[in-house]
């Protein structure tokens, strides 16, 4: 059910790769809620074809950019403003990639060139987008910016690897830039810390299915899906959340407040297969 929450608003969605992508779901919901959008990803992602068909189906312009390249980011903002005939109201940063994760490099045996690339693609790109938007004065007052993150920024999650540092930096950028953009332009910046989700990036984390099962058992409301994440993003882009800024907002069914649950204890007990394991 749509509520027209984004009627008249214009925004850019960075990071939709395929139907599983969180950004894909956000793009769909934004359109459903009355927004006009443009989309961006790498040229390679576009050539893979799925975003192309999304854009054709919804009549949405696509502007290619490597998120580490400031000039290309500038073009995305300029082209989007040209397309809309004015400023935007929101953008979504939904981008993450680690070659160390992809190559299964252990945390105590990292490749440092890859590490820098992880930080550049997954965190500094957020600062680059915000800085470009600020210099171009691309976002209307009371606009809203959201980036996606994961709880491994706060707590250690085996195998999340150098992405943990990237997410910690990303969240910090939201706070630091959130102050400046809020003070000067009333623009809010938040991160959403999402449950593990089966997407292309998600599947890159080894043992993802077990992590999802554990997380689901630990969360009183269960894991949040990509669609539910998109709903939450829409509220943050809408005028209903005008005074929420510089926050890391957990969207995880309660996982972040849990220590141990009955459902998680059940599988641990089974694993120990012992007599003294009580519920």
Ligand X SMILES: NC(=O)c1ccc[n+]([C@@H]2O[C@H](COP(=O)([O-])OP(=O)(O)OC[C@H]3O[C@@H](n4cnc5c(N)ncnc54)[C@H](O)[C@@H]3O)[C@@H](O)[C@H]2O)c1
Please report, as ranges, the residues that interact with ligand X according to CB under 6 A. Answer: 15-17, 21-23, 41-42, 45, 66-68, 94-97, 121, 148-150, 194, 196-197, 199-202
The strand order across the sheet containing 88-93 reads: 62-64, 36-41, 10-14, 88-93, 139-149, 188-194, 248-251
Q: E strand or H helix at 23, and its extent?
A: helix 22-32
CB of residue 69 vs ligand X: minimum separation in angstroms?
8
The DSSP secondary structure of 87-119, one letter per residue, reads: -EEEEEE-----HHHHTT--GGG--HHHHHHHH
CB of residue 38 vs ligand X: minimum separation in angstroms?
14
Q: How many CB atoms lie within 10 A of CB 276?
A: 6
CA dihedral 247, 253, 255, 257 (to 10 degrees): 60
CB of 249 or CB of 265, closer to ligand X: 249
Whole-angstrom distance, CA of residue 67 vs CA of residue 124: 9
CB of 96 or CB of 178, closer to ligand X: 96
CB of residue 101 vs ligand X: minimum separation in angstroms?
10
Secondary structure class of 217 (helix, strand, coil): helix
CB of residue 94 vs ligand X: minimum separation in angstroms?
4
CA-wise closest residue to 13 among 28, 32, 34:
28
Residues 91/145, Cβ–Cβ less than 8 Å: yes
CB of residue 92 vs ligand X: minimum separation in angstroms?
9
Give, in order, the Cα–Cα distances in Å from 164 to each of 29, 143, 195, 231, 254.
28, 28, 14, 25, 20
Distance between terminal CA atoms of the chain?
Answer: 40
CB of 4 or CB of 200, closer to ligand X: 200
CA-wise closest residue to 258 among 148, 167, 155:
155
Residue 148 sits at the vertex; the CA angle it makes with 9 and 95, to the nearest 5 degrees, is 95
CB of 95 or CB of 119, closer to ligand X: 95
CB of residue 216 vs ligand X: minimum separation in angstroms?
12
CB of 18 or CB of 261, closer to ligand X: 18
CB of 164 or CB of 187, closer to ligand X: 164
CB of residue 10 vs ligand X: minimum separation in angstroms?
21
CB of residue 139 vs ligand X: minimum separation in angstroms?
20
């Amino acid at each position: 059910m749509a509520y027209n929450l984004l009627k008249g608003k214009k925004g850019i969605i960075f990071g939709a790769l395929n139907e599983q992508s969180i950004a894909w779901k956000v793009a769909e919901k934004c359109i459903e809620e009355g927004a006009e959008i443009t989309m961006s990803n790498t040229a390679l992602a576009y050539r893979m074809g799925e975003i192309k068909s999304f854009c054709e189906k919804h009549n949405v312009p696509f502007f290619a950019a490597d998120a580490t390249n400031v000039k290309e980011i500038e073009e995305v903002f300029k082209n989007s403003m040209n397309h809309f005939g004015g400023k935007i109201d929101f953008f979504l940063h939904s981008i993450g990639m680690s070659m160390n994760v992809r190559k299964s490099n252990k945390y105590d045996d990292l490749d440092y060139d890859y590490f820098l690339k992880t930080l550049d693609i997954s965190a500094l790109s957020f600062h680059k987008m915000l800085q470009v938007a600020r210099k171009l004065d691309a976002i209307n007052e009371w606009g809203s910016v959201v980036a996606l993150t994961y709880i491994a920024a706060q707590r250690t999650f085996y195998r999340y690897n150098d992405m943990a540092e990237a997410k910690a930096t990303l969240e910090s950028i939201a706070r630091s830039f959130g102050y400046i953009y809020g003070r000067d332009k009333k623009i809010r910046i938040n991160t959403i810390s999402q449950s593990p989700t089966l997407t292309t990036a998600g599947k890159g984390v080894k043992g993802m299915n077990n992590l999802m099962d554990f997380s689901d058992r630990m969360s009183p409301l269960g894991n949040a899906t990509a669609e539910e994440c998109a709903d939450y993003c829409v509220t943050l882009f809408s005028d209903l959340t005008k005074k929420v800024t510089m926050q890391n907002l957990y969207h995880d069914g309660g996982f972040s407040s849990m220590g141990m649950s009955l459902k998680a204890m059940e599988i641990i007990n089974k694993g120990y297969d012992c007599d003294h394991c009580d519920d």
